[in-house]
């Protein structure tokens, strides 16, 4: 079973403020890397990069990292912004789904290396397939 964390929590999600430290640390890493939605699967591995109307998604191993596209059609734009005071920034990270008893493993962090490479134009599926053997 998976647990879904969001900024404030809801009837079906848990607030990130109530998460264990390790989950919060992974959340903060996602936010630092401009990831809006992240998912860590328990079983299935994926190695691909996909591009939709609103998100660029890097799948590497059990981790999927969704980064909002900078330039999207006005009708397709998703907004997570809220009004904040001067000098404060809207958090980028919004949703994190992890398996129960989640512990950060180095193979999960490899997904961020693949994300950085995808952001620099190295996003072909065959390359991601080959990268999985390097990490």
pLDDT value at residue 56: 85
Q: How many CA atoms lie within 13 A of 74 on its CB side?
A: 0
User: Could you read off the pLDDT tens digit of each residue along the chain, which spans 135 residues?
Assistant: 899 999 889 999 999 999 999 999 999 999 988 899 999 999 899 988 888 887 889 899 999 999 887 755 555 555 554 454 555 544 577 899 999 989 988 888 888 888 877 766 555 545 555 555 555
CB 129 within 8 A of CB 47: yes
- Length of the chain counted residue by residue: 135
Nearest residue to 92 (alpha-carbon basis) of 28, 16, 13, 18: 28
Which residues contact residue 42 at a Cβ distance below 8 angstroms, ignoring those fewer than 6 apart? 2, 62, 99
SS3 for 19?
Answer: coil
pLDDT value at residue 55: 84
Both structure tokens of 20: 């264990």
Q: How far apart are CA 92 and CA 95, in angstroms?
A: 10
Task: Please give the model's pTM, rounded to 2 decimal places.
Answer: 0.76
Cα dihedral 73, 75, 78, 81 sign: positive
């Amino acid at each position: 079973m998976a647990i879904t964390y969001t900024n404030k929590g809801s009837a079906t999600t848990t607030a990130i403020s109530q998460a264990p430290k390790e989950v919060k640390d992974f959340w903060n890493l996602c936010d630092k890397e401009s990831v809006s939605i992240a998912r860590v699967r328990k079983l299935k591995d994926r190695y691909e990069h996909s591009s939709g109307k609103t998100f660029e998604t890097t799948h590497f191993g059990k981790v999927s990292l969704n980064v909002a596209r900078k330039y999207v059609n006005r009708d397709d734009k998703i907004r997570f912004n809220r009004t904040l005071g001067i000098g404060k920034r809207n958090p980028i990270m919004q949703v994190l789904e992890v398996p129960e008893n989640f512990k950060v493993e180095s193979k999960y962090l490899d997904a961020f290396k693949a994300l950085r490479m995808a952001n620099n134009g190295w996003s072909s599926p065959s390359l991601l397939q080959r990268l999985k053997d390097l990490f």
